[in-house]
Structure 1
Amino acid sequence: MYHSVGDCADDPYRVTVAPDRLDAQLGWLRRRGLRGVGVAELLAARARGGGRDLVGLTFDDGYADFVEHALPCLRRWGCGATLFVLPGRLGGENAWDPLGPRKPLLSADGIRRAAAEGVEIGSHGLTHVDLTTADDATLTAETTGSRTLLAELTGGAVTGFCYPYGTVDARAADAVRAAGYGYACAIDPGPLTGPYALPRVHVGQNDTPVRLLLKTRLHRLRRRAAAGV
């Protein structure tokens, strides 16, 4: 689970990875015989009984720096990824982070460019709200509404959803399923773990090869495995 790729000097939420660090992390994966892919590709491979050499890479929030910094790294290492974006904030900024710093989000053209490079585009909701506290109308707009807008924007199917803040409950998961998504990503969903609450591990600037190795092992111990994944 990545977010922004750029300058880490001011990063109170630890959501930024420098381009050279991302490059090193992807290189570490490749040297271990692993390849980063989008989540839909990973799930499809696992459904066929394969995919043990694949790792799902996700980038949340749709920061504009994805096109400038992340795409070249992915290209260099032959990796794919899923980019979860906010169609209700196209060309906007991360206003949901009170401590800042303000970071620009991708425009429609930026999302189309990422899609043209083979990146899977998924929804992060419309505007980055906590779905577990949303009323019914907001919940529908953030799930169904965002999927419709992204399908129109990209001209392709939108099968993936990512819960803002990683928070999910049964009501939010049901809404995502009803909206027509094929899967959804969370962080540590506990008993809800499954295709509509996939657990992920945060990767940040401080994650050296040793830390990455520890995280891959601890992830299996701390988070329930999703059946069939």
Structure 2
Amino acid sequence: MYHSVADPTDDPYRITVSPDRLAAQLRWLRRRGLRGVSMRQLLDACARGQERDLVGLTFDDGYRDFVDEAVPLLRSHDCSATLFVLPGRLDGDNAWDPLGPRKPLLGAAGIRRAAEYGMEIASHGLTHVDLTQADDRLLRREVSDSRAALAELTGTDVQGFCYPYGHVDERVTAAVRDAGYRYACAISPGPLSGVLALPRVHIGQSDTAPRLRLKLWTNRLRHRTLDRVAVAPAVTSAVTG
């Protein structure tokens, strides 16, 4: 689970990795014989029993630096990723973060460019609200309308959803299922873990090779007992971005 790729100096939420750090992390994956792919690619591979050595990479929020900084690095390492964007905040910024600097978000042209480079475009809702606190009308708007907006923007089927802040409950997963999504990403959804609440591992600026090895190992241990995940083990045992 990544977010922004930029200067991490002023980053109270620890969601930013520098381009150099991302490059080092991707090199680390490749040296281990692993390749980063989008969640759609990972799920397709799992369905064929070909998920070995694949790692799901995700980038939340749709920051403008994804196209400028992350895409060239991903492509240079023969990797792809899923970009979770907010069609209700095109060309906006991370106004939901009360602390830290304002980070610009991609507009329609930038999102289309990311898709042209082979990145999966998926929904992070319309405006980045805590869906567990939303009423039914707002929940449907954030989940269903964002999928329709992105399908119109990209001209492709939108299969994935990502819960803002990682907050999820049964009512929210039901809304995601009813909206027609194939999968959804959370962070640590506990007993809700499954194809509509996939656990992910946060990757940040401090994650050098030793920490990446530890996270890969502990993540595999942690998810051994996730019997409710209705996909192949690689989806939860790999380090997912």
Alignment TM class, shorter chain as reference: over 0.9
Match for residue 10 of structure 2? 10
Match for residue 99 of structure 1? 99
| Structure 2 Cα separation of the partners of residues 96 and 76 of structure 1 | 32
What pairs with 1:2-41 in structure 2 (closer than 5 Å)?
2-41=2-41
Report SS of the residue matched to 1:218.
Answer: helix
Question: Deviation per CA, 1:52-108, whole angstroms, max 9, x where unpaired?
Answer: 110000000000000000001001100000000000000000000000210000010
| Structure 2 Cα separation of the partners of residues 123 and 40 of structure 1 | 13
* TM-score, L = length of structure 2: 0.94
Question: Deviation per CA, 1:150-175, whole angstroms, max 9, x where unpaired?
Answer: 00000001000000001110000000
List structure 1 runs of 4+ shifted beyond 6 angstroms.
none
Out of 185, 207, 230, the position equivalent to 1:227 is 230
Match for residue 54 of structure 1? 54
Report SS of the residue matched to 2:115.
Answer: helix
Match for residue 239 of structure 2? none
| Structure 1 Cα separation of the partners of residues 77 and 40 of structure 2 | 19
Shift of 1:50: 1.4
Q: What amino acid sits opposite 1:171 in the alignment?
A: R
* TM-score, L = length of structure 1: 0.98
| Structure 1 Cα separation of the partners of residues 44 and 192 of structure 2 | 21
Match for residue 122 of structure 1? 122
Report SS of the residue matched to 1:84.
Answer: strand
Matched, 1:73 2:73: yes
Q: What amino acid sits opposite 2:112 in the alignment?
A: R
Question: Per chain length, whose mean CA-contact separation is higher, i.e. which structure has more relative contact order (CA < 8 Å, sep 6+)?
Answer: 2
Question: Deviation per CA, 1:196-229, whole angstroms, max 9, x where unpaired?
Answer: 0000000000000100010011112334542323
Shift of 1:49: 1.1
What pairs with 1:139-218 in structure 2 (closer than 5 Å)?
139-218=139-218
| Structure 2 Cα separation of the partners of residues 17 and 100 of structure 1 | 15
| Structure 2 Cα separation of the partners of residues 221 and 55 of structure 1 | 16
Shift of 1:148: 0.3
Q: What amino acid sits opposite 2:179 in the alignment?
A: A
Q: Percent identity?
A: 69
Report SS of the residue matched to 2:218.
Answer: helix
C-alpha RMSD over aligned residues: 0.8
Q: What amino acid sits opposite 2:230 in the alignment?
A: A
Q: What amino acid sits opposite 1:205 in the alignment?
A: Q
Q: What amino acid sits opposite 1:220 in the alignment?
A: R
